């Protein structure tokens, strides 16, 4: 009789354990650090950042916002494709091109193109709907002394 009770208890325990395992919801796929960095710039595919609505631009610590008043940059990411477009880049940014993360530096982006910001590592930091881009244009890459310097773009999400 005790044998039958133990077998019944064991069967009940196995049944409870099996049903508990089946009710778990699977964990959503975890994003890689690279995917998270891409989302910082392009959200789920595209994000436009602008000086309008409270953004600012400084060069070597001096306010240059008036020169870049209409500046905006859009980062697009779809599959392996990474493109950008900008407006009112004032000879600093190309109108369009490709972008990539700077190797293992997942807080830096490199833009393609011919303008002075192209090919430079641009450090970015996102805080909700604000994006900060900071970079330096060295003398050898600058066409004139007026372009060379350290820039900080404080942008807001459009």
Query: Model pTM?
Result: 0.80
pLDDT category, 139, cuts 50, 70, 90?
Answer: confident
User: pLDDT tens digit string along 75-99?
Assistant: 999 999 999 999 999 999 999 999 9
The residue behind tokens 């982006």 is: 109
Say if residues 29 and 139 touch (Cβ distance below 8 Å).
no
Does the pLDDT value for residue 25 go beyond 70? no
Q: What is the pLDDT of residue 116?
A: 94
Please state, rounded to an integer, the average pLDDT across all residues of the chain. Answer: 87
Pick from 70, 42, 68, 39: nearest CA to 153: 68
User: pLDDT tens digit string along 103-117?
Assistant: 899 999 999 999 999
pLDDT category, 146, cuts 50, 70, 90?
Answer: confident
Q: Is the dihedral of CA 135, 74, 49, 144 positive or negative?
A: positive
Q: What is the pLDDT of residue 7?
A: 52
Say if residues 153 and 71 touch (Cβ distance below 8 Å).
yes
Which residues are registered as beta bridge partners of 74? 48, 85
CA distances from 89 to 9, 50, 53, 93 (A): 75, 11, 17, 5
pLDDT category, 71, cuts 50, 70, 90?
Answer: very high
Q: What is the pLDDT of residue 142?
A: 54
* Rounded distance between C-alpha atoms, residue 17 and residue 106, angstroms: 43
């Amino acid at each position: 009789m005790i044998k039958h009770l133990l077998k019944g208890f064991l069967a009940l325990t196995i049944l409870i354990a099996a049903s508990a395992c089946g009710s778990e919801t699977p964990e959503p796929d975890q994003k890689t650090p690279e995917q998270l960095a891409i989302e910082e710039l392009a959200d789920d595919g595209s994000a436009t950042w602008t000086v309008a609505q409270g953004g600012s631009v400084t060069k070597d610590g001096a306010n240059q916002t008036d020169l870049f008043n209409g500046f905006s940059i859009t980062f697009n990411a779809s599959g392996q494709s990474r493109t950008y477009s900008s407006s009112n880049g004032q000879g600093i940014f190309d109108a369009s091109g490709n972008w990539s993360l700077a190797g293992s530096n997942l807080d830096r982006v490199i833009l393609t193109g011919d303008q002075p910001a192209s090919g430079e590592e641009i450090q970015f930091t996102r805080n909700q709907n604000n994006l900060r881009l900071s970079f330096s244009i060295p003398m050898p890459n600058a066409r004139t002394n007026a372009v060379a310097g350290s820039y900080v773009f404080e942008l807001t999400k459009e």
